[in-house]
Every structure is written in structure tokens, then in C-alpha cells.
A and B are shown apart, each in its own frame.
Chain A
Amino acid sequence: MNNGTSLLKCSDVYVRFGGVMALSDVSMDVQEGTIAALIGPNGAGKTTLLNVITGMVAQTEGSIFFRLDDLSEAQPHIRSQKGMVRTFQNLEVFSHMTVLENVMTGAHNLYKYSVLDSIFKTPRYFSQEKKCREAAMEKLRFVGLEDDWNKNAVDLPYGKQRLLELARAICGDPVLLLLDEPAAGLNPKETSSLGRVIAAVRDELKITIVLVEHDMELVMSISDDITVLNFGQVIARGTPGEIQKNPEVIKAYLGSDD
């Protein structure tokens, strides 16, 4: 699974919000083809790190390398076009659209045509739209939402909206997928089926994943590698087995949770 190539490299990242040091000296290496989990107590800086990686928050110091490119200063949509897509801790589905349209939007840069193609309804418009729709339907089947394709996104129950965000994120054929607490608000049954879908994204779609998650059962069962943040600093990294035994982690995180 782990072929040893580094896909994403965060080096010495610092983020300061006024007086708060949200991240200090955080480095993280994500290997291609793996699920790299990022865990830590509330307020540890997990979301902030995802924001820095995807370009939504500017780091005070440090760099982000992605497939050998230095993307430290790149705008979010450029990073997305390079193959980096994420989901959000607070759901951000496109509420004015149907389920299918949401997922088609995920393939924005995959099936391109100009505005003139759409105004004049050229053959290119029809063929690209058809490909886009088929790709989106395939992703909906992948997460198990195919029956809901024509519903308004807002009408889906919470758990399905989480799956919808996942389908939308993978529809652009990303290289790296960053998931921010995908299991938040899901019941145990939904969580375990989500775990299977996430593992399938890695194994079948060959997409590398950064997983931020509080559900330890999920993290331990599917991650290849875990990084633990506490108060903006990396306090441990290792395999699930190693992390579970790490006394500092137990003290900072697992202990306080159980």
C-alpha cells in the first residue's frame, strides 16, 4: 500500500491568530496511497492545518509541498486544480442545487467547455455534460446515494449530506483528499459504513487521504499512519498500534476522552 513516495509535505508550519498560536512548528509527510490520520483534542489545530494545506488560511511561516510543487502561496482553486480536494467539518453542500448538480460541480475542471459552447449548445457542450453527468452518477453509486440524485441537496438527512460532500470531492478525480471529521454527527452504523467507503476511496480509486477524525474506532481501523496534534504542536506520530500505546497521547487525548 505504502510505496514510499511522499505526496504532501508540510514543513515547519506556524499559524498565529492574534495572540493564539494555532500551529507551531508542524511538519507532516503524507505518503502516496495511504490514509494519514490527524487527531487531537478540540482546538488542537487540526482544521487549521487543513486550511493551510488547502490555502484557505495563510500560514505565518512554513511551506506546503505537493507532488514536488511548492504551493505555499497558491490560491485555493489552484491547489484544487493540482489535485487537492477537501470536505468541511461544518457541512458545505451547495444547498441551491440538486444532489447530482452538487457532484457535477465537483468535476468543474474535468469536463471543460466554454461559456459560448453552453450559449450555442454546441456538440461539445452536450458531450462534456453527458460525460460529467455519468461521472457524477458513478460517484453517487460509489457512496450509495444514487437513488437520491434528483433531490434538493438540503432535503437530504445529515448523514447523507456528509456522503454527498464526499461524492462531490472525489468527482474531480483528486490525488489527495482531505476529510475534516467526516463521521461527526453520524450514528455507529453510518460511521462503520462510511469507514468502508473511505477505505474504498484509497484502495479502489487510489486516492491518498488525510483524515481528521474524533471517532477513534474509525481512525484505528482504517489509518495507515497517525499524527497527533495538541495545542498546535505535533506530540506523536506512528502506526495505529504505536499511537494507542503512546503514553503522551493517552495523557493528552485518549485519556481525557475515555
Chain B
Amino acid sequence: MEGKKGIFSFLIFVVITFGFPWMLTNDYYLSILILSGITAIGVVGLNLLLGYAGQISIGHAAFFGISAYTSAILTTNYGLSVGTGIFSGIALSSVVAVIIGIPALKLKALSLAMATLGFGLIVYIFLNETITLTGGPSGFVGIPRFNILGYDFYSDLAYYYLVAIILTFVIIISLNIINSRAGRALKAIHSSENAAMVMGINVARFKLFVFVLSAVFAATAGGLYAHYLSFVAPSSFDFHFSIKLIVMAVLGGMSSVWGGVIGALFLTSMPEFLRIYEELETILYGLILILCMMFMPQGIVGGIGKLSGFVMGMFSRGGGRNE
């Protein structure tokens, strides 16, 4: 990730992300890109948890939801600024993540999966049942568009660049953490918790750190989502969406930050273009998971890495390391 190859990947990302979308004349495509970018912010965070630290959360949609609704309610009903609303959503999500994470992460690996599964269902039921607060199953309408310092992001292109900038920061933060002492600790925990402890790593604390960090990224995405669509409903943050986030991480490639971005882009846009029914979509996710496990354990990014390593190897001796 460090070095020439990392910088090269980053430059490609910046050029593609910032260089082309202004040429897009089709609003529909632009809105898909915006939703992909928002989702990618969450998936990159989930990937730190899942791919790097090896901890599973099957309720990550709930962090999107808590933040989206918190900000929606505070800005729409109480007239707070969007910035304050999103910030409050992120704060609440991280507090909730700490409360769930402390007991769940102290126990065995699977208990986080169980705890987040239950948590995701509870949040979903809560959003459906507290109708006076959330609007219930029919959703919450009239959320203001994102604005900051008097600038309204009414045009989709402006919103796109907002999301792109935030995604870029999320990627930089993630890459910098991975290439550090904390990143090594997370990878160590993934390989062997026993050996990690012996190296003096406070395993419970680092697991909690990465869980809360992934919740913060998910919450950031949730806020951006609410203030883009101006409408949220519980069904956007259900179990199905939590699974979809995991499939995005696996398909894109769990051992790379870029995997989260590519997985989110793929699985946000593909169902739109193919116009698949939801039932079929679920089957498709199952299929993707199985195929990835069997043929592409490193996901799309790993596949690209292998291919480029192969091509480079044909031209120069040695070839590139796959990262």
C-alpha cells in the first residue's frame, strides 16, 4: 500500500473521481454515483473491521440508520443546522457502538456477529414502531439538503463533489491507519489473537477502536444519505442492507481499502442497471459470496492485482507485489 504502487492507485482514484463526472449529462447516472460514493464511505469502514481486523458485524446498516434519522429529526423538527445534525448522528452512533462493542468484543469472535445482528434488528423495529418520532414504515420526509456555511448543495454535481471529497478523506484516513502501528495491531489480531496479546497488544481495545471507527464511517454515510435524498425509511437500513454491505466488502476485496470502494460502486449501480427484483437480488448476493470465496478470495481488487502483476511480470523481471 505504501510506496509507488499505493500512490499510483491513489492518483488513479483521484483522477477518475474528480476528473470526469462534470461531463456526465445524465442526472440518473450522477445520482447512482452519489449513492455509490456514500455507500463506499460505509463499506471502507466495514472493511477495516472485517477485512483487516477479522471481526464481523451483521448490523452495520443500523449505524447508517441511527445517524440518518438523528440528523433528519434534529434538522427537520428542531431546526438545527445540517452540520450539527450530522455531527450529532455520528456522535450518537459511536456512543452506541461503544456500548455494544465493550461487552461483545471481550467475548469470543462470534459474539460481535450475534450482538450486531440483534442490534440491527432492534434498531429496525425501533424505526418502524416509534411513529411519532420517525414516521414509522412510511418514512420521514422533508429533510433539508446538505448545506454548510450558507452554501446549499442543491445541484447533484455539487453534492457529488462533496461526497467525493469526504470519501477521499475516509480513504486517506484508512490507508494511514493501516500503514501504522494500529494497522499492524489490527492485522495481528486477525491472524492470531494469542500472538497479538503476547506482543503486548491490548486486543480488546483495538477491536473496540476499529468497531467504533467503522461505525463512525457508517454514520457519516448515513448523514450524507439523509440530506441527499431528503427522505429516509426504515427499509433502507434493514438486515438486507447490512448483508449487502458485507457482500460489497467481499466482492471488492477485503484485504484492500480500495475493495470497499469498488464493491460499493459495483453493487450500488448493478441492480439499478439490471433492474432486478429484490428477491433475485438476495439470491445474487448469496451467489456472489460463494463465488468469491471459491474463486476470488481477494475480491476484484485482488484479481486486478494479480492480473497487473502478471502483465508487469511479462515486461519486467520480478513483478509487483499484490497489495
Contact = CB atoms under 8 A, between A and B. Distances in A.
Interface stretch (B72-80, B171-179, B224-232): B171-179
A56 interface: yes
B198 to A, nearest CB: 6
Interface in B145-190: 173, 176-177, 179-185, 187-188, 190
A129 B2 CA distance: 13
Contacts of B194: 56, 76, 88, 92
A74 B176 CA distance: 32
A121 B176 CA distance: 7
Contact of B199 (A85, A112, A115): A85
A59 interface: no
B184 A105 contact: yes
Contacts of B173: 119
Contact of A94 (B180, B187, B202): B187
B200 interface: yes
Interface residues of A, number: 40
B14 interface: no
B198 A80 contact: yes
Contact of A92 (B181, B182, B190, B192): B192
A118 B195 contact: no
A168 B188 CA distance: 12
B191 interface: yes
Nearest to B321: A150
Contacts of A76: 194, 197-198
A129 B177 CA distance: 13
Nearest to A101: B184
A165 to B, nearest CB: 8
A115 B190 contact: no
Contact of B195 (A55, A88, A119): A88
A24 to B, nearest CB: 25
Interface string A110-123: 01110101111100
B160 to A, nearest CB: 25
Interface in B183-226: 183-185, 187-188, 190-192, 194-203, 209
Interface in B234-250: none
Contacts of A105: 184-185, 188, 196, 199, 201
B184 A104 contact: yes
B102 to A, nearest CB: 15
Interface string A197-216: 00000000000000000000
Nearest to B178: A118
A86 interface: yes
Classify the secondary structure of B's interface with A: helix
B187 A108 contact: no
Nearest to B192: A92
B203 to A, nearest CB: 7
Given A115-B177, A118-B177, A119-B173, A108 B184 contact: yes
Contact of B200 (A96, A117, A172): A172
B39 interface: no
A108 B255 contact: no
A168 B198 CA distance: 10
A118 B199 contact: no
Given A96-B255, A115-B177, A118-B176, A108 B201 contact: yes
B114 to A, nearest CB: 24
A95 interface: yes
B192 A94 contact: yes
A97 B179 CA distance: 11
A5 interface: no
Interface of B: 173, 176-177, 179-185, 187-188, 190-192, 194-203, 209, 255, 321
28 contacts: A55-B197, A77-B202, A77-B203, A80-B199, A81-B200, A86-B198, A92-B195, A93-B192, A94-B187, A94-B192, A95-B191, A96-B255, A97-B188, A97-B191, A101-B184, A105-B188, A106-B199, A108-B185, A109-B200, A113-B181, A118-B177, A118-B181, A118-B182, A118-B183, A119-B176, A120-B176, A129-B180, A150-B321
Those 8 A-B pairs whose CB atoms lie nearest each other, nearest first = A118-B180, A80-B200, A76-B197, A92-B195, A94-B191, A92-B192, A109-B200, A105-B184
Given A56-B197, A77-B202, 7 more contacts: A55-B197, A56-B194, A77-B198, A77-B201, A115-B180, A118-B182, A172-B200
